Amino acid sequence: MKLAIIGGGGFRVPLVYGALLRRRPFDDVVLYDVDPGRLERVAHVLEGQAAEHGDRVPFRTTTDLDDALEGADFVFVAIRVGGLEGRTVDEGVPLGHGVLGQETTGPGGICFALRTIPAMLDLAERVARLAPGAWMVNFTNPAGMVTEALQQVLGDRAIGICDTPSALCRRVAAALGRVPEDLRFDYFGLNHLGWLRAVHDGSGDLLPGLLADDELLASLEEGTLFGAEWLRSLGMVPNEYLYYFYFSADTVDAIGRSARPRGAYLLEQQAAFYDAEPESPPEALRRWRAAKDERDRTYMAEARNGHTPAPLSDDEPGGYEGEAMAVVEAIRGNTGTTLILNAANRSALPFLDERAVVEVPCVVGAAGARPLAVGDVPDHARALIGTIKAVERATIEAAVTGSTALAIKALALHPLVPSVTAAREIFTEYRERLPDLEERFA
Ligand code: G6P
Ligand code: MN
C-alpha cells in the first residue's frame, strides 16, 4: 500500500514515521516537499528513528509531486503555504489592532486560509487525476475550512483531522480514572471550535460528576485553562481553542506582555533545527526531539499563564499521527471505529446544511467517515458555530474567487473583529505585507 506525504519536510513528519514503524500499514512511503533542504533534514531524522527501532519502513523523498501522488492509496497533507513567515503576518497584523492574532482562530485563520485554499484545490485536482482511489487525510490548517474546500473536488474522500478532540477525551478519561476505549464521548462542533458535553460509560453521564469536583478539575488541563467556575457555567468542557473566544482580551494582553507572538518565536526555533549543519541520523533525531520538546512545552503559552502542559513523548498513542493511523486502519479494515473527524455534516448538526464540514464523532469504515447524529446543542454553542460557519464559507468563496468584498465580509463577520472598519484595515495590511495575497486580490 502506498502513502504519499505532502509536506514531507514538515516538522511533525517524524511523528507520522514513528507511527508507521510501530503499526506498519504501508510498504511504500513517499515524502514530497517543495523544499529539498527541509526534506533532507527530515529524512535524516527518519533514518535515525529506523536505526533506533532496529527496522526500517522503506521511504523515499521527491520534489516531483506527480511522482509522489501516482497510484497512492492514502495522501497525508500538512503544508504551510507562505511558511512560518506567513504565520508571523497572520498573527502580527490583527495584534497591531488590538485583535486576537492566532494561527487558526480569528483574522489569522482567515488570512491563512486565503493563502492555503487555492494551493489545496490544485493539489486535490491532481489527486483526483493521479490517484483517483486515494483517501486524502488533511492535517493542513485551518483544517475545517481546508477540508470543506477539498470536498468540493474529492467529496467524502477528503477527511480532516485534528489532534485536539481526542487529546481532550483522553485527558477527561484520565481525570475520571478510566480508559478512553471504555467510554463514549459526546463531542460536537467545528475544527478548533468544539465542546465535550457528555461522557457515557453505559450506566450514565460521567461529566456532571467531573464538573462538580474541584480536585478532579484541577488535574485536568482544561480545568486549569478555563477555571472550574466557567466550566460549570457552561456545563461542558470546551476544546482548548475556545480559550481564544472566552478569554480573547486576556490573550491579546498576554501576547502583548510576552517576548513575541507564537509564529515569530517558532520562526527562530524551527530555523535552529532546520539550518543546523548536516549530522549523523542519530544526532539529527536527538536534535529533533529536543526541538519538539521545547515546542510542546511552549504550546499555547499565551493561554497558560506560566503553567506548562503535561509533556508528550513521541511514541505516545494519539497525537495527530495517531488519528491519521486510526483513520487508515478503520478504512482498510472496515472496522466501523468511532473517531472524531472533520467530515460533511449530513444531518449530524441539524442547524447546518448537509455539506458543511463539522468536527464530530464519525463511524469510519471502508466507505469513509459517517458522522453520528448530535442533535440539539446549547444555544450559545449553536450560535457560535453558525456564525463561524458563515465566516468560513465567506473565506472559502473569497479564496476561490479573489473577491476583496468577500474577504472583508469574512473578517467583519468574525465575532473577534470589532468593526467593519477594523476588518478593512486588517485586510489592507495583510495585502501590503503578503505580495501573493496582493496579487490574488488585485
Ligand atoms: C494543535 C492543533 C494544530 C496546530 C498546533 C499548533 O496541535 O491541533 O492544529 O497546528 O496545535 O502548534 P504550534 O506548535 O505550531 O503552535
Ligand atoms: Mn488542530
Using N-to-C axis directions, what is the helix angle for 420-433 and 404-413, rounded to 10°? 130
What's the confidence (pLDDT) of residue 69?
98
- DSSP track, 74-126: EEEE---TTHHHHHHHHHHHHHHTTS---SSSTHHHHHHHHHHHHHHHHHHHH
If phi > 0 it is left, if psi is from -120 to 50 it is alpha, else beta; for residue 83 that is left
Nearest-atom number in ligand 1 for the CA of 298 is 14
309-357: per-residue pLDDT in tens? Answer: 776 655 566 788 999 999 999 999 999 999 999 999 999 999 999 999 9
Nearest-atom number in ligand 1 for the CA of 300 is 16
What's the confidence (pLDDT) of residue 313?
58
What's the confidence (pLDDT) of residue 66?
98
Binned at pLDDT 50, 70 and 90, residue 305 comes out as confident
Which residues neighbour 117 within 8 Å (Cβ) at sequence distance 6 or greater?
A: 145, 146, 149, 395, 396, 399, 400
14-60: per-residue pLDDT in tens? Answer: 999 999 999 999 999 999 999 999 999 999 999 999 999 999 999 99
With a Cβ cut-off of 6 Å, ligand 1 is lined by: 141, 162-164, 262, 266, 295, 299
23 vs 245: CA distance, rounded Å: 38
Question: Above 70 in pLDDT, residue 90?
Answer: yes
Query: Ligand 1, residues 13, 320, 341: which to mutate, most atoms within 8 A of Cβ?
Result: 320
Query: Rounded mean pLDDT of 223-244?
Result: 98
102-114: per-residue pLDDT in tens? Answer: 999 999 999 999 9
Ligand nearest to the CA of 103: 1
Query: Ligand 1, residues 262, 296, 342: which to mutate, most atoms within 8 A of Cβ?
Result: 262
Burial class (CB in 10 A: 0-12, 13-18, 19+), 271: exposed
- DSSP track, 372-434: PP-----HHHHHHHHHHHHHHHHHHHHHHHT-HHHHHHHHHHSTTS--HHHHHHHHHHHHHH-
What's the confidence (pLDDT) of residue 317?
66
- Between the CA of 202 and the centroid of ligand 1 the distance, in Å, is 33
- Between the CA of 216 and the centroid of ligand 1 the distance, in Å, is 26
- Between the CA of 378 and the centroid of ligand 2 the distance, in Å, is 23
21 vs 29: CA distance, rounded Å: 11
Nearest-atom number in ligand 1 for the CA of 320 is 7
Which residues neighbour 399 within 8 Å (Cβ) at sequence distance 6 or greater?
A: 113, 114, 116, 117, 118, 149
- Between the CA of 238 and the centroid of ligand 2 the distance, in Å, is 14
Ligand nearest to the CA of 299: 1
- Between the CA of 109 and the centroid of ligand 1 the distance, in Å, is 12
**For ligand 1, atom 4: residue with the closest CA:** 141
Burial class (CB in 10 A: 0-12, 13-18, 19+), 329: middle
Query: Ligand 1, residues 13, 84, 104: which to mutate, most atoms within 8 A of Cβ?
Result: 104
Amino acid letter, residue 75: V
Question: Above 80 in pLDDT, residue 398?
Answer: yes
131-187: per-residue pLDDT in tens? Answer: 999 999 999 999 999 999 999 999 999 999 999 999 999 999 999 999 999 999 999
- Between the CA of 61 and the centroid of ligand 1 the distance, in Å, is 25
**For ligand 1, atom 6: residue with the closest CA:** 299
| 260: DSSP letter | S
Query: Rounded mean pLDDT of 250-255?
Result: 97
Question: Above 70 in pLDDT, residue 433?
Answer: yes
Cite the DSSP H helix spans in 136-220. 143-154, 164-175, 207-212, 214-218
Three-state secondary-structure class, residue 190: strand
In this structure, is the dihedral angle defined by the CA atoms of residues 373, 375, 380 and 383, taken in order, positive or negative? Answer: positive
Burial class (CB in 10 A: 0-12, 13-18, 19+), 286: middle
Residues 78 and 9 sit within 8 Å (Cβ to Cβ): no
What's the confidence (pLDDT) of residue 93?
98
Nearest-atom number in ligand 1 for the CA of 192 is 8
- Between the CA of 141 and the centroid of ligand 2 the distance, in Å, is 7
Displacement of CA 298 from its chain's centroid (Å): 17
What's the confidence (pLDDT) of residue 315?
58
Which residue in the block uniquely carries the three cell numbers 535515525?
48
- Percent share of the chain, pLDDT over 90: 95
Angle at 20 between CA 177 and CA 54, to 5 degrees: 100
275-298: per-residue pLDDT in tens? Answer: 999 899 999 999 999 999 999 999
- Between the CA of 105 and the centroid of ligand 1 the distance, in Å, is 11
Angle at 19 between CA 15 and CA 24, to 5 degrees: 145
Nearest alpha-carbon partner for 105 in 145, 139, 77, 151 = 145
Amino acid letter, residue 68: A
Characterize the bridge pairing of strands 158-160 and 135-138: parallel
